[in-house]
Chain A
Amino acid sequence: MSEVRALSVPLDSIAPCFEGVIPASLCSCSREGLPNVTFLSIVHRLDENHVGLSFQFFNKTRKNLQENPRAQVIVVMPGTADQYRLDVRHLRTETDGPAFDRMRARLEAVASQTGMNRVFRLRGVDVYEVLDCRSVNQEGRSEIVPRAESMRELEAFTGRLDSCEGLDALLSTALEALADLFGHRHSFVMFPDEDGTRLYTGASYGFDPSGVGSEVVVGEGMLGLSAARRSVVRVTNLALDRVVARAVRSGIERRGEESILETEIALPGLPDARSQLTLPLLSRNRLLGVLCLQSADPGRFLETDERVMQIVARHLAASMASTMAADSAEPKVATLQSDRAAPAASHAVVRHYRSDDSIFIDDAYLTKGIPGRLFWKLLQAFVGTGRAAFTNKEIRLDASMGLPDIKDNLETRLILLRRRLEERCEFMRLIPAGRGRLHLDVRRSLTLEELP
């Protein structure tokens, strides 16, 4: 990069303009003197004197810049609506490096979510030197945006997590603290399944219904790609991304080239989410899950929020790893004494379908897969012997459960099961009874039916 040039308006002071919340515009000019105007979804600020634009398609702008490197960009400040002109000079096109990787991660996540994997492809990052940046308006109000230090909130967040016992409490506390301390009122955590091909929601905050149990495929969509790539994915105006994607889709369909299109993927969570920040939860390079924050407002998660939430995600992942390890290593826990559940007030039928381990309570779906198989075993013990107390250890060691080697993933399955029961069943609860112990509380008599 060339030497730093003092701009009339420092790019740092208008950082939110470079988040893709409000579309920008670019004007280039051909050798023959024909100006050309195009819209841009996002202008990336690379440093104090450089911006980057994605290069996806060969077009007039690209041809012009090869002939005449001068261009002008107008960006708009979210919130104040102030506009800024950037006089720029095209320097080069990069096809690798940190800026390329960052832009590609964002583009591919949106492409995957909107079914445009084979259409939106980052060929390169066009790097421009910013010659000057000026306010379009007479009374430009640019100011250095105070950096979000958030030290006090981070300290409080880690303090709250320190006092948690068990993974369930840890996640509930963390998501509630994100709302209390940082104002992130819609969040959820997804866990990978045993073979790492899917993610399922195990804890959520701010959603009704909770969405616990919803699934996505690892490698697909913004959440799946964040997990597969183990990278942060942040989008600031999903509504805009979708509108552009649908416009491109319509054009492709009109040309009869539908074969290159894929289905748009439904996004778990808020139906009108416009901002989303997805962070992988990693411990020693092992994926424990993803943390997802959503908002219906565009531009809710900016670069500073991403940095703070990365610290949050790393601390949460470390706490999860230590909690899971403690549960896995639960020493010498004897099986609790059998006890009888409370007398049943009425009756219910629980059905288990062996084909997918799905569980239905009085014809209402509860769960499937490993949580379903696990619950069925607990219910069989409960109905057969009256046992209502269990330990994680015995579940892990019980070969008759036929569980795969899920070890420290057991706790995440139990959380899912517990939350599903809370949400979908009035008379059964799976209650944590101290570390590594469970109590099955059933308030009705049960009939169990096993089906193919």
Chain B
Amino acid sequence: MVGTRDSELVPELVRAWGPRISRDRKHASLCVAMAAGVKTLANLRDNARVAVTFALPANSSAIQVWGRCIGTGRPDRDDLTAVQQHRDTFAQVSKGLGIPPPFIEALWQRELAGSPGMVRIRFVAVQIFNQTPGPGAGSPL
């Protein structure tokens, strides 16, 4: 999930797909549905502040990255491959929670339905935190 905020400090959330780390490991990227991410993209143009939470449904392990957006644009083939792999893996690991794979497929399809496509967000990490539920949640990594 990607969190941003506008100039009035009003937060905005959007679901993101296909996270990737650049080869030089200096930045990361992910994709959001363009229609669902309109306000997110406007916020990033305004102030570049971004928070991204990554979680593994199978065991609730999670981290949060606070970062700075360094660019948005059209996803390339590798980005879209990462989106599909994320969707398929997400479907597999969610089965254990009783969430059937078609539900994850529907979640993805519903986001893209009516959207002109996806947009890639690139960002650099400023701080990383443990976000796994429990006593260590919120501690810096």
Contact = CB atoms under 8 A, between A and B. Distances in A.
A137 B99 contact: no
Interface stretch (A75-83, A211-219, A355-363, A395-403): A75-83
B97 A240 contact: yes
B141 interface: no
Given A70-B11, A81-B103, A83-B110, A243 B135 contact: no
Given A35-B5, A298-B99, A74 B134 contact: no
Interface size class of B (residues with CB under 8 A): 35 or more
Nearest to A39: B55
A274 interface: yes
A401 B4 CA distance: 73
A34 B133 contact: no
Given A25-B13, A33-B9, A239-B98, A248 B55 contact: no
A443 interface: no
Interface in B101-116: 103-104, 106-107, 109-111, 113-115
A249 B15 CA distance: 28
Q: Select the residue from B12, B57, B134 with max chain A CB neighbours within 10 A.
A: B134
Contact of A37 (B2, B35, B57, B61): B2
A139 B113 contact: yes
Nearest to A254: B136
A33 B11 CA distance: 9
Contact of A59 (B35, B53, B114, B138): B138
A306 interface: no
A252 B134 CA distance: 7
Interface in B68-110: 96-99, 103-104, 106-107, 109-110
A231 interface: no
A251 interface: yes
A137 B5 contact: no
Given A34-B49, A37-B53, A247-B61, A83 B11 contact: no
Interface string B109-131: 11101110000000000000001
B137 interface: yes
B107 A81 contact: yes
A407 B113 CA distance: 65
A35 B51 contact: yes
B50 interface: yes
A312 interface: no
Contacts of A136: 14-15, 36, 111
A46 interface: no
Interface string A40-61: 0000000000000000010110
Interface in A385-435: none
Contacts of B97: 237, 239-240, 243, 298
Nearest to A68: B9
B73 to A, nearest CB: 21
A35 B138 contact: no
Contacts of B10: 29, 70, 72, 87
Nearest to A41: B133
A interface, over-half SS: mixed
A59 B58 CA distance: 23
A79 B53 CA distance: 24
Given A81-B103, A239-B96, A244 B60 contact: yes
B111 A137 contact: yes
A68 B11 CA distance: 10
Interface string A221-256: 000000000000000010110011011111110110
B135 A251 contact: yes
Interface string B10-26: 11111100000000000
A70 B11 CA distance: 7
A28 B11 CA distance: 6
Contacts of A252: 134-135
A154 B3 CA distance: 47
B49 A37 contact: no
Contacts of B64: 36-38
A83 B5 CA distance: 19
Contacts of B58: 243
A194 interface: no
Please name the 8 residue pairs, one residue from A and one from B, whose CB atoms are nearest each other, closest first. Answer: A138-B114, A251-B134, A27-B3, A247-B60, A81-B106, A27-B11, A35-B3, A248-B134
Given A27-B1, A35-B3, 6 more contacts: A35-B5, A35-B11, A136-B15, A138-B35, A246-B60, A248-B133
5 contacts: A36-B66, A74-B13, A76-B107, A247-B134, A251-B133
